[in-house]
Amino acid sequence: MKILVLNCGSASVKWGLYADGKSVDGGLIERVTDCAQAVREVLFTADVSDVDAVGHRVVHGGLRFTAPTLIDDAVLESVTRLIPLAPLHNPVNLEGIKIAREMLPGVPQVAVFDTAFHRTIPPAQAMYAIDVEVAQENGIARYGFHGTSHEYVSHRTAELLGRDPAETNIITLHLGNGASACAVRAGRSSATSMGLTPLEGLVMGSRSGNVDPAVVFHLHRVAGMSFDAIDDLLNQRSGLRGLCGDNDMREVLRRRDEGDEAAALAFDVYCERIKMYVGAYYALLGRVDAITFTAGVGENAAPVREASLSGLDALGIVVDPARNTAAERGERIISPDGASPVVCVVPTDEELEIANQTAELLAR
């Protein structure tokens, strides 16, 4: 089965062609300002004449979508209604779907939802402590995101350790421009840092992560900011960008190494937040077999990995400096021999996971 995967982000379009679970082609279009045009470019240049299906990454599936779903008009309408919960992502996901349906008529289109992997989170983690009726009426709950990445990476980590995912507890750290942590118990998500939207949790490239909710009211009442302006502040002008003016960790590290105090503080805030979640998820899981870094920052920024886990020796969490900074790439262990939990780096492959889930759905 030949499958085209489209992963449309707010500023990029990543795509891949897979045949029988193996990559045969792919690419990334960056600095995208027109998602529809970028998807057209992919479909004009890639060999899609004989694709059997198209798998799409869709960020927010709400409570309705708990598994890969064959796309029809009703599904598109439901995903559209979820835009307020993922305003940076669902609109571009929808654009990619609409162009693919237009240019590949008759080819099955499948939505794979970032939120689906997290539907196994227990109520004690999924519920916010607000009025239950208000929460239910408005769909307020912890949905979580980066699910395809956390699922893929946790299973690959178990394989790297030679263990069955169903018998392995793993903390996965997806650190890119968007960032999230996940506590994976026996192959299933049991807690994750992102919440109702992708804004909650870790410090990100331009998103704040956790803030006191009263910050919103304070900025509205005292600073006179509109709710749209506050939304823009927390999603587009916060995180690393808000702290030091750069949302690219490579630039933050360069500036820090040159003695830039703002960049050094941004780095510290970023890593301290990760450390907080690692400790919390260790407590929730009770036993942790591995901690795994993935995505652009997690896979490539050795200083982030070191700083995020420093001082956790009492929990058995240790990073080997030589292994951590080695030029080696790919799946690898960066903790000392015999350490428990094991610290790993596993490159994510969301597109392969989407392709596999698409193929499994159509094979039923």
Residues designated catalytic: 114
**Cα–Cα nearest to 3, from 361, 360, 362, 355:** 355
**How many beta carbons lie within 10 A of that of residue 76, not counting itself?**
16
> Kind and range of the H or E element at 284?
helix 261-285
Strands 342-345 and 332-333: antiparallel
Within 226-302, strands assigned E span: 290-294
Distance CA 292, CA 205 (A): 20
Helix, strand, coil share of the chain (percent; to 5): 45, 20, 35
Our separate counts of H helices and E strands in the chain read 15, 12
Phi, psi of 17 (to 5 degrees): -110, 130
Contact by Cβ (8 Å): 143, 62: yes
Distance CA 350, CA 347 (A): 10
Distance CA 310, CA 153 (A): 22
